[in-house]
Amino acid sequence: QDYYGKELRSSEDLKTMACVTPAQPLPWAAREALERVHEEVAARYYGCGLVLPECLASCRVLDLGSGSGRDCYVLSQLVGEKGHVTGIDMTKEQVEVGKKHLAYHMDKFGYRVPNVDFIWGFMEKLEDAGLANESYDVVCSNCVVNLAPDKSAVLREAYQVLKPGGEMHLSDVYVSGHLSEAARAHRVLWG
């Protein structure tokens, strides 16, 4: 919370490049959607890949660890005005940035009614945050499951809120071996 909420003001404040992916050509719709995201929201992007499932029109999407909402606002355009995107993040400062620019984005997208909301809460405890079981078509996450101390709880909770036949899409950092205690305790490497 301190690292992502207080230390980082933009992606240039990152202390490592471990989560930064090389530029890949994005589909046209994604590039166009990214261009409409507010500058402050886009500057606070710390993910490791853009999660863009296909066929999102009118879907209900949950973004775990939404941060300031960059991916939520991209997904908002892809689900359309009849869909809905919920972002949940444990960092109050990030959630506030996403909320602050809600009206800007809805106006920019031409939506009469907001199709995005942001919740402060923990992805290990989605029910405590007020998210109902079997209420989302898609659960996505961009480089935050790796930060959760209890990854099994995150995946269990995500599965609970998915509708039958729903999909999970994760872009994350994975390790194929065991980390040393020194690496686990290193604040910058953890963040």
| pLDDT above 80 for 105 | yes
Tens of pLDDT, residue by residue over 162-189, are 999 999 999 888 778 888 899 888 877 7
pLDDT at position 157 is 98
Helix (H/G/I), strand (E/B), else coil: 37:
coil
The pTM for the full model equals 0.84
Helix (H, G, I), strand (E, B) or coil at 148: coil
- pLDDT tens for residues 129-149? 999 999 999 999 998 898 898
Q: What are phi and psi of 77, to 5 degrees?
A: -70, -30
> Which domains are seen in the chain, by residue range?
24-185 (3.40.50.150)
